[in-house]
């Protein structure tokens, strides 16, 4: 509950009301006074308008430098005859849609049609399996730029090398990104100083 202002009396309220009314009447008076006066508009637009209308025609020297306008050669379009026997014998390339994501395994695909989502089977189980699959197994290459940071991390660090520390988090970034010597020296730990 907020405390009331002890100075906010009826007299103070009337004073504020009067000052607001006075300010608004002053603004209206100023507006009426300025409305009757002609506003000094910049003449820049008039100058531009004159330059455009007077100088719209290019000079004769410029016209002489331009190449002559000739007729463009137009080719007559030939409509394809779909009854042409040559078109029937021509081999057509199969349409293949390249997908960024690899198709699921047969076992995962079979879960899609096994049961109902309401029961926790079927589509639910299929999507759960696809979600649990790591991106390196689902995609040939990283689709998003943010995936570059963790892409193929298993090639750099083996799971056996990662040991859970008794306190705190693992130092994957410090151990893989920074060099022990040279330019990329890891920053000193704050507790070391």
pLDDT in tens, 59-92: 677 667 766 666 666 666 777 676 766 666 666 6
Instruction: Read off the pLDDT band of 140 (50, 70, 90).
Output: confident
The contacts of residue 113 (CB under 8 Å, 6+ apart) are: 122
The reported pLDDT for the residue numbered 186 is 53
Contact 111, 126 (CB under 8 A): yes
Is 95 contained in some domain?
no
The reported pLDDT for the residue numbered 178 is 67
pLDDT in tens, 7-17: 778 888 899 99
The reported pLDDT for the residue numbered 124 is 93
Q: State how many domains the chain has.
A: 1
Domain encompassing residue 152: 106-182
Q: In angstroms, rounded to a whole number, what is the distance separating the alpha carbons of residues 151 and 147?
A: 6
| C-alpha radius of gyration, the chain, whole number | 40
Is 4 contained in some domain?
no
Is 20 contained in some domain?
no
Is 71 contained in some domain?
no
Is 151 contained in some domain?
yes
Instruction: Tell me how long the chain is.
Output: 193
Kindly tell me if the per-residue pLDDT of 112 is higher than 80.
yes
How confident is the model over 28-36, as a mean pLDDT?
82
Higher pLDDT, 39 or 14: 14
Is 164 contained in some domain?
yes
Is 87 contained in some domain?
no
């Amino acid at each position: 509950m907020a405390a009331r202002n002890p100075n906010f009396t009826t007299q103070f309220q009337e004073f504020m009301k009067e000052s607001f009314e006075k300010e608004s009447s002053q603004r209206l008076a100023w507006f009426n006074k300025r409305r009757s006066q002609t506003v000094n508009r910049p003449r820049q637009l008039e100058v531009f308008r004159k330059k455009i209308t007077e100088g719209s025609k290019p000079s004769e020297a410029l016209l002489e430098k331009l190449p002559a306008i000739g007729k463009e050669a137009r080719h007559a379009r030939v409509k394809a005859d779909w009854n042409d026997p040559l078109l029937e014998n021509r081999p057509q390339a199969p349409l293949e849609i390249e997908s960024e994501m690899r198709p699921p395994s047969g076992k995962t695909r079979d879960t899609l049609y096994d049961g109902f989502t309401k029961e926790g089977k079927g589509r639910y189980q299929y999507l759960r399996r696809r979600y649990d699959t790591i991106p390196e197994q689902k995609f040939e290459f990283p689709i998003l730029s943010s995936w570059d940071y963790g892409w193929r991390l298993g090639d750099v660090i083996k799971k056996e090398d990662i040991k859970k520390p008794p306190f705190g988090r693992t130092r994957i970034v410090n151990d893989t990104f920074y060099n022990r010597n040279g330019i990329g020296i890891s920053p000193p730990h704050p507790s070391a100083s």
